[in-house]
Amino acid sequence: MNFFQAIFLGLVQALTEYLPVSSSAHIRIIGDLTIGSDPGAAFTAIIQIGTELAVLLYFRRDIIRILGAWFGSLFGRDGKDLRSRFGAHNKDTQMGWYIIIGTLPIMVAGLLFKNAIETTFRNLWITVTVLALFGVLLWFFDARSRQVKTMGRMTVKDAIIFGIGQMLALIPGVSRSGGTITFGRAMGYTREAAVRVAFLMAIPAVFGAGILEAVSAVKDVSACNAGGSGAAEACKAIGMFPGWGPTIAATVVSFLVGYIVIIGFLKFVSTFSYKAFAVYRIVLAVIVAILLITGVLPAIDPSVAAAA
């Protein structure tokens, strides 16, 4: 992968990360079409850090307020009893806890199924299936569910359900924002509230995954260069990783363009439904299925299959 290809994939990441269309699916599909191979889960996870930095910048006031309230309540500012420390008197403290609770499912599943996420789940037939399925679900729940719940009405149960929706995004094609938004709309959250929850809840999950993948890539490069025991496996692992130069370039692009996309997307959902995104998912699934059937795209990249 050269720098121009990396920048293009970073642009794709920025344009699709926040929309309920699955950025990882687009990176997987477009990577095969443009560079002839799957860029890999490590590359995908790391460039997502760029788009999450854009989220931090855009929601900086909300994040600072939530963190300040969370730490303040935890250390007894709102009362010394346990209920007060856990946000009984402060909505921002409660939101901090809800984000933590909602992050747990994807963290646990990510650690338990790390190998499957990087290999088996990247099968494009799985991507096609979940693209279409969650397109239908998003269309159905967005059209049928009322818009009555705001972020201020969230409960522990709701946070867990949001978290499960985010957890399913470990499968390319589900979409982190798409899974969270679909589950949120099914619970009756407004379109804007569901989007904001999706953005805030993704921050620890995406940064955690990106940092773990970066550390893993550094270890694999070191082990491969050092030779000796385990070198073969390490070299096989970095075979899917394009290197730090292209990866950093893609991350910077995903940050800069991502910030602009956040602004536009929030304005869009305050006026329009998610129907257009649902239709797009279904059409994309059909196109990719045709490319798979005709042999233009392989269901599993050979380098990924070798690492499985």
- Which residues are registered as beta bridge partners of 149? 189
The number of domains in the chain is 1
> What's the residue count for the chain?
308
What amino acid is encoded at 198 in this protein?
A
> What is the helix (H) or strand (E) element at residue 58, kind and residue range?
helix 41-58
DSSP state of 87: T
Residue 71 belongs to a domain: yes
Buried/exposed 194-223: b ≥16 CB within 10 Å, e otherwise: bbbbbbbbbbbbbbbbbebbbebbeebbeb
Residue 196 belongs to a domain: yes
* pLDDT at residue number 142: 94
pTM of the model: 0.84
Contact present, 38 and 21 (Cβ < 8 Å):
no
Residue 164 belongs to a domain: yes
* pLDDT at residue number 234: 59
Distance, CA of 265 to CA of 191 (rounded, Å): 11
How many CB atoms are located within 10 Å of the residue 33 CB?
10
Domain that holds residue 83: 3-302
Residue 230 belongs to a domain: yes
Residue 307 belongs to a domain: no
Tens of pLDDT, residues 58-84: 999 999 999 999 999 988 888 888 888
Tens of pLDDT, residue by residue, the chain (308 residues): 678 888 898 899 899 888 899 888 888 788 778 877 767 667 777 888 888 899 999 999 999 999 999 999 988 888 888 888 888 889 999 999 999 999 999 999 988 888 888 778 888 999 999 999 999 999 999 999 988 999 989 999 999 999 999 999 889 889 889 999 999 999 999 999 999 999 999 888 888 877 877 777 767 766 766 666 666 665 555 556 677 788 888 899 999 999 999 999 999 988 888 999 999 999 999 999 999 999 888 888 655 554 44
DSSP state of 153: G
Residue 165 belongs to a domain: yes
Residue 51 belongs to a domain: yes
Contact present, 43 and 242 (Cβ < 8 Å):
yes
Contact present, 162 and 197 (Cβ < 8 Å):
yes
